[in-house]
Chain A
Amino acid sequence: MTAATASRYTAEYSSIAPTLPGQNLPWLTALRQDALTKFSAQGFPSLREEEWRYTNVSAIEKKLFSSSLIGQAQEPVATELLAAYQLPDAWSVVLLDGHFCAELSALNDLPETVSVMSMADALAKQPEIVERYINQAVTNDEHNFVAFNTAWFTDGLFVHVPAKLVLEKPIQVVHLNTKNDALASTRTVIVAEQMADIKVIETFVGLDIAYLSAAVTEVFVGVNADVTLYKMQCESNKAYHFGGIYVKQAKHARFIHHNFAFGGLLARCDIHTDLDLASECELNGLYLGVNRQHIDNHTRINHLKPHGISRELYKGVLDDRARGVFQGRVIVAEDAQKTDSQMNNRNLLLSNDAEADTKPQLEIYADDVKCAHGVTVGQLDEKSIFYLQSRCIDEETARNMLTFAFANEMVDKIKIKSVHDQALEQVLIRFPQEGVNKEWL
């Protein structure tokens, strides 16, 4: 925004820079310098930018969230919080306030050919491999949150799965935020080689404090490979969250994303994917806003080559004074004939003060394609209410049941039971009205 406010972050940078990983790597230093220059010039994105017109991030600039330098010994409250979110049946990596925490992570018995390590470790041990991927699915020019992340990231995760390997358990990355006014900036790279099959869960949680969590994830889905990525954004309700997920799909690659946006005072998430020949993507999203939460989801599906298939469904439930934003772009390149794309955004407003801004955009440059999109913003369907009433259920319970059901449709798409149950619990916590009997579910 203004160079003056951006300069508060910039001013701090020189003291942080020497502690960042990959100091000895000229290519990374250059990348970070380029990012810093861009960020210093413009600051965080402004409302004047088309893709940020509904989301005002000036509060982040006013506050100055500061990089915590070392992941300190965890307080008991933090471990308690972690215990509530760490999945029992997954390999798990914990990023504590933006730094890998070995004691809390559990990576035993990973197949030898798979590498799962902290980004700092990867930059130290195999920088030439990291260099092949970092900033390749997105660039510093995307917008200044990405540039900011490039310059500031303190750690993150690097995952490489060799060809044909099917990982039988998912990998969970828990971003655990425990420090007031702290910045946690992380970069994750996930590579699935040809015909590999992996599932990764990115979980964001924090204590009941204000912090800025800025995480960029780049995903490379190899030829005929499968990547399913879950995002469980359960940040503190005082927190600021920026998450960017940028995906490159090779030929015949399949990418499925489930985006659950539950937490944060201000949360923005970008999901962009590029589809090559006959690749398929499925983007599912659920955002639940209460109080004064502002939740912005921004997706871009880029059909670059023929025969791609994309399916997108984002649902929002907004109560109180919450605001939900959905901007979904589908771009079909001239070369991408026979593309088959469907995009839907449905919003349920539970209060008169809640707001949904939705903007689906189709940009089609090919002539032989099947593309559809639909948007709804509204209240519950009266026909459904009557149907439930005719099945003995009173109107208020019917309304609560349908609200729950609206959200639960997205939860039901989750195939991993522990993740499903966690998402279900989050939905129930956020809409605790009478009307849904947990024991019967």
Chain B
Amino acid sequence: MLSIKNLTVNVNDKQILKGINLEIKPGEIHAIMGPNGSGKSTLSHILSGKAGYTVTGGSVTYQGKDLLEMPPEIRAREGVFLAFQYPVEIPGVSNIYLLKAALNSIRKHHGQPEVDAMDFLTLVKDKVRLLEMDEKFLYRAVNEGFSGGEKKRNEILQMAILEPKLCILDETDSGLDIDALKVVAEGVNSLRTANRSFVMVTHYQRLLDYIKPDFVHVLANGQIVKSGGAELALELEEKGYSWLEDSKAAV
């Protein structure tokens, strides 16, 4: 599904990602953990096509195509979805309008007709229920005045409706209380299929109690310094990150 090879990225001439290698197969869940400032959001942004970063080396292949060549909206229509660490407020555009515009863009991209209005409403209301949200949120402006938790839930709602192939969740757990975390995790779990892959970026292993990863990678200082199974997350919880940062420094 996704193959990242020796990826190096600069921001303002400063190297942030220093040779990332990552292979993600269909259906897998990968957790990327690491201390603040290690480059997790940078990696998420690079995958979704945000401007302002310079790729200085390496490659990213998504479903056999060069991902870095595609404009952000094409990546999205091809199934890459980023749940933002800091979702953007868009006053004046309702949630439901954005959802419809996004879904129809995907359908058009695949040569399908616009979604039927009634089918759309049924779909959306289903997912709203799944995420235990109030239907009123649909008619409110995108993220405007939402609490931190509501914004994160709204990201997962969009994800549930757009049915992407590669879901990147950037610190979706931060700002969620334990009940909201469970709801969000349930939402994510309900989206698991044999073909859909997830990249869960997180600082804490808390989320991973509810969404069990197949692989855990530790990102420190722009490099993956350790990879392992789900048990690695628990080890990190216990020991913190410093032992890994130190070991990396010794290399």
Contact = CB atoms under 8 A, between A and B. Distances in A.
A401 interface: yes
Contacts, number: 81
Identify which of B77, B98, B158 gathers the most chain A CB atoms within 10 Å of its CB.
B98
Nearest to A404: B92
A389 B141 contact: no
A441 B141 CA distance: 12
Nearest to A435: B101
Interface in A397-420: 397, 401-402, 404-409, 412
Give the interface centre of B50, B73, B141 by most chain A CB atoms within 10 Å: B73
B92 A390 contact: no
A393 B92 contact: no
A31 to B, nearest CB: 44
Nearest to A410: B92
A408 B92 contact: yes
A79 interface: no
A408 B93 contact: yes
Contact of A395 (B71, B94, B101, B162): B71
A392 B77 contact: yes
B106 interface: yes
Contact of A412 (B77, B100, B141): B141
A279 to B, nearest CB: 26
Report the contact-size class of chain B (Cβ under 8 Å from the partner): 20 to 34
Contacts of A440: 97, 100-101
Nearest to B76: A392
Contacts of B103: 392
B10 to A, nearest CB: 19
Interface string B89-123: 01111100110111101100100000000000000
A391 B142 CA distance: 12
Contact of A389 (B76, B84, B100, B158): B76
A317 to B, nearest CB: 11
A437 interface: yes
Interface residues of A, number: 26
Contact of B88 (A384, A404, A407, A412): A384
A412 B140 CA distance: 10
B72 A401 contact: no
B48 interface: yes
B187 interface: no
B90 A384 contact: yes
A393 B73 contact: yes
Nearest to B87: A387
B49 to A, nearest CB: 7
Given A395-B71, A409-B141, A437-B101, A390 B93 contact: no
B75 to A, nearest CB: 8
Nearest to A407: B92
Contacts of B158: 391
B91 A405 contact: yes
A402 to B, nearest CB: 7
Contacts of B124: none
A382 B77 contact: no
B194 interface: no
Contacts of A404: 92-93
Interface in A356-389: 382-384, 386-389
B138 to A, nearest CB: 12
B92 A412 contact: yes
A404 B81 CA distance: 25
A155 B5 CA distance: 78
A382 B106 contact: no
Contacts of A393: 73, 101-102, 105
B198 to A, nearest CB: 16
A384 B87 CA distance: 9
A421 interface: no
B100 A388 contact: no
Given A401-B101, A412-B141, A390 B90 contact: no
B33 interface: no
Nearest to A406: B92
Contact of A402 (B90, B100, B106): B90
A391 B48 CA distance: 10
Contacts of B92: 404-409, 412
Given A405-B93, A437-B100, 11 more contacts: A383-B88, A386-B51, A387-B87, A389-B72, A390-B72, A391-B76, A392-B103, A407-B92, A408-B93, A409-B141, A437-B101
Interface of B: 48-51, 71-73, 76-77, 81-82, 84, 87-88, 90-94, 97-98, 100-103, 105-106, 109, 141, 158, 162
Interface of A: 382-384, 386-395, 397, 401-402, 404-409, 412, 437, 440-441
25 contacts: A382-B51, A383-B88, A384-B90, A386-B50, A387-B87, A387-B88, A389-B49, A389-B76, A391-B76, A392-B73, A392-B103, A393-B73, A393-B101, A394-B105, A397-B101, A401-B101, A405-B90, A405-B91, A405-B92, A405-B141, A408-B93, A409-B92, A409-B141, A440-B97, A440-B100
